Structures are given as C-alpha cells and as structure tokens.
Amino acid sequence: MMACQEGNRSPKTDTEELADSSLIKAADSSSVAITDSTTATADTLLFSADKIIGRWIQPVPGVDKEMQGFHLRKDGTARSINMYTLVYEKWALQHDTLLLWNHSEGVKDTTTIIDTALIKELTDSTLVLFPVNAAEGYREKYTRQPDKKGGR
C-alpha cells in the first residue's frame, strides 16, 4: 500500500525545498539590542556594591533560633557567618547578580564553587536572592546585621 502511495508522489522540486522553514538560515540575534522595555529591565538592573557590603543573616533552616549568612567586605572578600563547613572566599557584583566564591571544609573535594544569585530586592535592611539553580519562586531572604561598631 505504501509503495503505491509513494509512487504517486512527485519528486520535490527546488521551490518546495526552499519553502521548508527548517532550511531557512536565521540571522544571529545575539548582538541585537532589545527594544521591549519589560524585557530589557532584567538586563539593566544595577545595584551599588556599597549598598550590599555588610553582614547578611537568615535563620538556619529547622533551627530558627540560630542564624547563618555571609559578610561581604569592601575589599571583595567574603566570610561565612555560622557556617563552618561552607567557607566563602570572595564576592563580586555584576548588575543584578551576586557571585560568591566558596569551598567546603572537611570534605575530600575542596573545589571552589561560585554561587550565583539574582538580587530580587535590596534595601538598607533586607536582601532577597534567587539562586540561579533554584526552583522558580524560591527566594532566600537575609537581614542586615549591624556591625559591632553600630554601622554596616
């Protein structure tokens, strides 16, 4: 039955080949500017490094009386707060993205990892992060811990 149907088909012509959209080459759009303001907003958010410097803490999951977090210093170094196996080394801010270099202590593999998180909110007292590998809607909320000197 298939042979009869195939025999009735005419061979594809050159114009039919060109009409196949899978054969159309698309222009490289990686360098094209975005003009839609709602799309461009995510690419243009800027946060000041001065505003994010400080000690940021949150309750330890399951132990709400204990706090953990990180200390971002002016010189680009970072330190863990109450996280003894996770050691932060340095940090960087790129537009709306916080990068935290860290490694684990007390394990065989001490490879340096870069935690990457989008900053969803930043005020004088609150930092809300969305880790890029997290499930949609997940957020980590931190509160600024005053320095022992009373400042940031």
Q: How many domains does the chain have?
A: 1
**Which strands sit side by side in the sheet containing 97-104, from one edge to the other?**
78-81, 63-72, 54-60, 140-145, 126-131, 113-122, 97-104, 86-94
The answer to whether residue 4 is domain-embedded is: no
Look up the CATH number of the domain holding residue 125.
2.40.128.280
Range of the domain at 58: 47-145
* Interval 93-142: pLDDT, tens: 999 999 999 999 887 777 889 999 999 999 999 999 999 999 999 999 99
Q: Which helix (H) or strand (E) holds 50?
A: helix 49-52
φ, ψ at 105 (rounded to 5°): -95, 150
* Interval 6-48: pLDDT, tens: 455 555 545 444 444 434 444 444 443 433 333 334 444 678 8
> How does DSSP classify residue 23?
G
